[in-house]
């Protein structure tokens, strides 16, 4: 299930898609009803996925090169606050 949650979140989708797809999964897969509901996925797996993402981000950002960070606060379709963070490395180009 952790892989499913990671895949959904990396695709920029909400975990609500799991509940929407439940009838399809039950009809077309052998154990489609075994996928937990959105709230259980959020409670059990999102914290694990977040820690793994944070650790991988720390490794990627541990280089000693200069980088820029851009923050953008917005709202989603349900008017909830969302914070987008964009990281970029500065590269020196010799001319």
Question: Does the structure show a pLDDT above 90 at 45?
Answer: yes
- pTM, to two decimals: 0.61
Question: Does the structure show a pLDDT above 80 at 73?
Answer: yes
Cα–Cα distances (Å) from 12 to 7, 34, 75, 89, in that order, read 9, 23, 14, 23
* % of the chain exceeding 70 in pLDDT: 97
79 or 67, which is more confident: 79
For residues 83 and 71, the answer to whether their CB atoms sit within 8 Å is yes
Confidence band of 63 (pLDDT split at 50, 70, 90): low
Rounded CA-CA distance 17/90 in Å is 37
Tell me what pLDDT residue 49 has. 92
């Amino acid at each position: 299930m952790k892989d499913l949650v990671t895949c959904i979140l990396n695709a920029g989708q909400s975990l609500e898609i799991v509940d929407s797809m439940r009838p399809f999964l039950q009809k077309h897969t052998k154990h489609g009803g075994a996928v937990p509901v959105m709230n259980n996925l959020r409670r059990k797996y999102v914290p694990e996925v977040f820690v793994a993402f944070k650790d991988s981000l720390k490794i990627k950002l541990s280089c000693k090169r200069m980088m820029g960070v851009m923050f953008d606060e917005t709202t989603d379709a349900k008017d909830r606050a969302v914070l987008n963070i964009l990281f970029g490395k500065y590269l020196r180009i010799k001319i």
